[in-house]
Copies of this chain bind each other. A is one copy, B any other.
Amino acid sequence: MTYPLLKGMRVVEGAAFIAGPSCGLYLAQMGAEVIRFDNIGGGPDFRRWPLGGNGASLYWEGLNKGKKSVAIDMSSPQGRELAVALATAPGEQGGLFVTNFPVDGFLSYAALSARRKDVICLRVMGWADGTTAVDYTINAAMGLPLMTGPADDPRPVNHILPAWDLLTGAYAAFALLAADRARRMNGEGQEIRLPLSDVASSTLSHLGQVAEVIESGADRRRMGNDLFGAFGRDFAVRDGRIIVVAITPRQWRDLVALLGLEAEIAAMETELGLSFAADEGLRFTHRARLYPLFEAVFARMDLDSVKSQFDARGVCWSSYRSLSDALVADDGTFRGNPLFEELRHPSGLTYPAAGPAATISGLPRDHLVAAPRLGENTDEVLSELLGLGELEIARLHDRGVIAGPQSEEIW
């Protein structure tokens, strides 16, 4: 299920949770060899929920598909030395290291670049000053939970998708490839620091939200599911709830026509002296007038009739459905989606999992590779990458510096 675009590239990952590991996952699923090292027994994310019924972390095995796993005791000097050696192992297409270890620890850029001058170190951080943070604390600090949720409820609402983590992971994969490209031109390594806080603050700048507050002098108010600055909201139909969005003039005209609201909208436009088709923002400004018209029509429709009419006309809409409903739907979202392949995971469970989100139209998807068992590749990697002999590897095992795969019964 992977594509060979990054074939030959070798990335070492010493990271936990979502941002760093998803960066490694994206690289692995595009063909890079990604070697993840963890403490023996697993890093801080090895038991992260969701868990399978047998106690295995579905999260861990989801985020580490197609990687190799090395287990090291990083509390020992010898183990730390092995981690540094892995991150800086030779090879023209190696020397790429993704981590969320601290800036000043034993995996500092100074320590790494002393061993391999052209190493590229992509370091995911919480706050830019090194203070600890996770997606949800960054989000609270940026103001989004106060803008999320129904207008009649003042409680802050956290997003449940770890959006900042995910965005950081994808941006990290991009930044690593950018630095790799530069290194291929000029031979120079880099330390790239990527704090969740800066991903968030820069994003709010890019989207115009920083400028919005500066220019307006006020925060955006909570407005439930109303789409800011255009027409969009959730509406009840007879047997469910849908979201409808109309940003472009075509989307708006099609929606109004399909719902048979042309005359009423035209009357309102005459009364107000404006054109809703010409200016998407007016649909937002006057939404209190517009919504009742749409509510009345939708209240008489059911999901089937919305679907057949809206899909035929290309209206931008969706029903609100549960993930379990999405999983069994026959619309290609999950079932029948070529991204997904059923395979056996290290937990021992067999279920479908996804390859790369991107589809390369001219290349077949190669088969998906499951996550390794923790420590599954310890010996092989130390031998091939660091050139350790059998005896040396056996000694490291004896001293507890490294470990092979755990038995499956641990779950």
Contacts and interface: CB of A to CB of B under 8 A. Distances in A.
A386 B86 CA distance: 47
A141 interface: yes
A247 B44 contact: yes
Contact of A143 (B140, B179, B220, B324): B324
A73 interface: no
Given A50-B228, A281-B51, A323-B213, A161 B163 contact: yes
Interface stretch (A265-273, A314-322, A394-402): A314-322
Contacts of A126: 316
A128 interface: yes
Contacts of A35: none
Interface residues of A, number: 162
Contacts of A247: 44, 48, 134
Given A144-B323, A167-B170, A170-B174, 7 more contacts: A52-B215, A142-B326, A144-B161, A156-B234, A158-B225, A192-B360, A205-B353
A207 B150 CA distance: 27
A311 B191 contact: no
Contacts of A148: 148, 157, 159-160
A97 interface: no
A307 to B, nearest CB: 11
A179 B171 CA distance: 16
A153 B156 contact: no
B326 A156 contact: no
B192 A359 contact: yes
A205 B314 CA distance: 28
30 contacts: A6-B181, A22-B206, A30-B178, A44-B247, A51-B281, A52-B215, A58-B215, A61-B211, A134-B247, A136-B243, A141-B318, A141-B321, A141-B326, A142-B326, A155-B224, A158-B224, A174-B177, A175-B358, A180-B181, A192-B359, A193-B361, A198-B339, A201-B339, A202-B357, A205-B352, A206-B354, A210-B353, A213-B324, A215-B351, A220-B323
